Structure 1
Amino acid sequence: MSDPAMVVRHLLVRGRVQGVGYRAWAEAEARRRGLDGWVRNRIGGAVEIVAAGPEALVEDFVTACRRGPWRARVDDIAIEAASSRLLEQRRPGEVFSVLGTA
């Protein structure tokens, strides 16, 4: 992640985002863009995402996350720049992981 055009974003998505396929959808959208990272449900009902890659592709992914899959309802999305160290939470050998609930 030393390339200045590469960014890491941490997203916390709130609304009706659990039980509607949001994690699988986010994984597919991230992989389609060639992004690194992970997604997981949070105990409080949100979905947490870390996405890393070229800035334009990450921003496009974030825009898609504001809509989510058709069954989801995104009420709020908090986005912040993040450290590439968060990528260490991925499963070994995976570029983008669906993690267990935290």
Structure 2
Amino acid sequence: MKVFVIATRADRPFEEFAPLMDKEAKQALTFMVEDFVREIYSRKDGKGAILVCEGESEEAVLERLSALPLVQAGLLSLDAYPVGAYRAIEAAAKNL
């Protein structure tokens, strides 16, 4: 199942984030190598990231992402949205 995750940084001073940023990046890259996180984008508003994940359920994705150091430190919150193909695609394919 594909799950979009919006990660939002807590409104805290950068100094609280700084000691964890290298560990956070390493864990995110490990997730990508494992094909768990398929895509990751920085939010242009500077408030976090958007991730495209693969997992058995929304809950399973959130549980796995709880290993991120910023999540563990309470500095990053996660909102997950399971998604599927746009419903018009199937209808359009039947008309080919």
Measured against the shorter chain, the TM-score band is: 0.5 to 0.7
- Which blocks of at least 5 consecutive residues in structure 1 are unaligned? 1-6, 86-102
| Change in CA separation of 1:41 and 1:9 when aligned onto 2, cut-off 3 Å | same
What TM-score results when the alignment is normalised by the length of structure 1?
A: 0.51
Q: How does 1:3-82 map to 2 (within 5 A)?
A: 7-15=1-9, 20-21=21-22, 22-32=24-34, 34-35=35-36, 37-44=38-45, 45-52=47-54, 54-55=55-56, 59=60, 61-69=61-69, 73-82=74-83
**Cα gap change, 1:55 to 1:76, in 2 (>3 Å):** same
**Amino acid aligned to 2:53:** A
Q: Deviations for 1:18-39, whole angstroms, at most 9, x for unmatched residues?
A: 862435422312433x436101
In 2 relative to 1, CA 13–62 (structure 1 residues): closer, same or farther, beyond 3 Å? Answer: same
Larger proportion of helix: 2
Distance, in Å, in 2 between the alignment partners of 1:84 and 1:28 is 27
The structure 1 segments of at least 4 consecutive aligned residues displaced by more than 6 Å after TM superposition are none
- Output the aligned Cα RMSD: 3.3
Contact 1:8 1:50 in 2 (8 A): yes
SS at match of 2:69: coil
Q: Which has the larger radius of gyration?
A: 2
TM-score by length of structure 2 reads: 0.53
SS of the residue corresponding to residue 43 of structure 1 reads coil
* Seq. identity, %: 8
**Greater share of residues in strand:** 1
Q: Give the conservation status (yes or no) of the 8 Å contact 1:12–1:78.
A: yes
- The CA distance in 1 between the partners of 2:26 and 2:75, in whole Å, is 15
Output one character per residue of 1:64-90: Cα deviation in whole Å (capped at 9) or x when no partner.
3234136964442110112368xxxxx
Gaps of 5+ in 2: 11-16, 87-96
